[in-house]
Amino acid sequence: MNALPLSALPHPPGRLPVLGDVRSVDRRRPTQHETELTRELGPIFQRELLGNRLVVVGGADLARQTLDEESWGRVLVGPLAQLRAVAGAGLFTARTRDPLWGQARRILTPGFAQAAMRVYHDAMASVADDLTQKWTESPVIDVHRDMTAATLEVIGRAGFSRRMGLLGSDDGAADGTGEFLDALGRILLWAGESTNDVPMLGPIREVLGSRRRNADIATGRRFVSSIIETRVREGARGRNDLLGLMLETADPETGERLPLRNVTDQVLTFLAAGHETTAALMEVALYYLAAEPEVADRIATTELDGTALTYENVVRLRQIRAYLNECLRLWPPAPGFFRLARTDQVLDGYHVPAGRAVFVLALAAQRDPAVWGPDADLFRADRFLGERLTASSRKFFAPWGTGPRSCIGRQFAIHESSLLLASVLSRFDLRLEKPTDLVMRERATLRPEPFTLVASPRTTVPAAPVASGRS
């Protein structure tokens, strides 16, 4: 074969000697910038910074090629590598060959299966009730703050049977929660910043910030340890939640339980991975609902009208699901992931040697007009209503990642956000406080810049009930 070397890949204009493509660095919005570059440079391109070459795969067909588990695997680089210092061998940051990864994944899988959502439903619904109560009392909404609170409350109440005191009638945050949240925020900021770092700045900031960061990490671990200790003291018996699973269940394969230190890693992982991404999804959904009130009205009247939000009914909310999928397509909270060539590969005529990592830019591939059509950049939830996307579809859609390391929390996030969105939508008309574009910021995730909504009681006249087969 005469495949071209990666050095021949197109790159942004204005490359400098030694420094490389520094002129094209956009530290504040790296993956959005790379998505623009995909349109200019094609489905695969390179960015070289001080001799480090990042290969970006933004075309849908090429991205789909990297999903093949035989030829490609996951690799811990970028922010994931940074977060290892925080969450150690938690599921997200453990190496696949670390026995703790397989053990934890097997122990926790039942806790994230669809059937488990029935168990978490009431805890999730209690958060939805607190949120709608709050919005009824104070209808001018800081969406960022409230979604952070709601998603942390959900993982706390459903996952660890622990109220975080961020919403509802609690007397305020439980001991240390505020401090923990501040520390977590700074840690995620740091991890996100190092993603597409100019390589030289990384080590410098590393030294400058390490004392603060170590203190933050210690704060995080102390907070989590206190959750675990409380549970151990009170006795784990009968607690049907993630923490119970981790403390009491033996791995069906090895018969071993997770060491306590690893349970700490996991709880920290779930608090971080479980809230930031879901909050980002909820914020995007709320933005579009407020920006397009006709769509909100249609869903409220045709799908939600009079529907009690029981477990069974939430699972059947087809329009809400399609809506969430469209949010995940346009603004995936995890905008990309790294894939490592297990053997020599060819992408679009370029030779990718075994052991080489490429960055699969889901943000670009999920908007590739070649497969999603000329309106790929438009929000149109009904794309997801007609067809079911399968692995064989050319329409690249991987907001949950891929393969054995894909998101374990997927059903959890879908049930939670369907329920929260349905609760809010059936009670309120939402409006943007003032006309604003959706501006996405990039930290550890792709998440909207804070914006304000105004909620008023829903006034739309409900549609007549449909006897069967609502659609």
Q: Please report, in range form, the residues annotated as the binding site for heme.
A: 407
Q: Which is nearer to ligand MNH, 144 or 351 (CB)?
A: 144
One character per residue 132-161, x = contact with ligand MNH (rule: CB under 6 A): -----------------------x------
Look up residue 365 and give its two tokens.
Answer: 């591939």
Q: How far is the CB of 7 from ligand MNH (least distance, A)?
A: 26
Q: How far apart are CA 133 and CA 139, in angstroms?
A: 10
Q: Select from 254-262, 270-278, 294-302, 375-383 the region that touches ligand MNH (CB under 6 A).
A: 270-278
Task: Tell me the C-alpha distance between 362 and 35, whole Å.
Answer: 9
Under the binding rule (CB under 6 A), the answer on residue 273 touching ligand MNH is yes
- The distance of closest approach from Cβ of residue 219 to ligand MNH in the complex, given in angstroms and rounded to an integer, is 21
Instruction: State the minimum distance, in angstroms, from the CB of residue 125 to ligand MNH.
Output: 16
Which amino acid is present at 50? Answer: L
The arrangement of strands across the sheet holding 140-142 comes to 140-142, 452-457, 428-432
Q: In the 8-state DSSP scheme, what is residue 304?
A: I
Closest residue to ligand MNH, Cβ-based? 409
Outline where DSSP puts E strands in 59-176.
72-74, 140-142
Helix (H, G, I), strand (E, B) or coil at 178: helix
Nearest to 222 by CA among 269, 180, 178: 180
Any contact of residue 381 with ligand MNH (CB under 6 A)?
A: no
Is 334:364 a contact under the CB 8 Å cutoff?
no
> CB of residue 245 vs ligand MNH: minimum separation in angstroms?
12
Distances (CA, A) of 438 to 72, 99, 126, 284: 34, 42, 29, 8
The reply on whether position 427 binds ligand MNH by CB under 6 A is: no
Q: Which of 7, 109 has the CB closer to ligand MNH?
A: 109
Dist. CA 38–CA 366, nearest whole Å: 12
By CB under 6 A, residue 411 contacts ligand MNH:
no
CB of 396 to ligand MNH, least distance (A): 13
CB of 231 to ligand MNH, least distance (A): 17
Residues between 83 and 122 with contacts to ligand MNH, criterion CB under 6 A:
91-92, 105
Contacting ligand MNH (CB under 6 A), which of 35, 196, 277, 325?
A: 277
Residue 348: left (phi > 0), alpha (psi -120 to 50), or beta?
left
Is residue 345 near ligand MNH by the rule CB under 6 A?
Answer: no
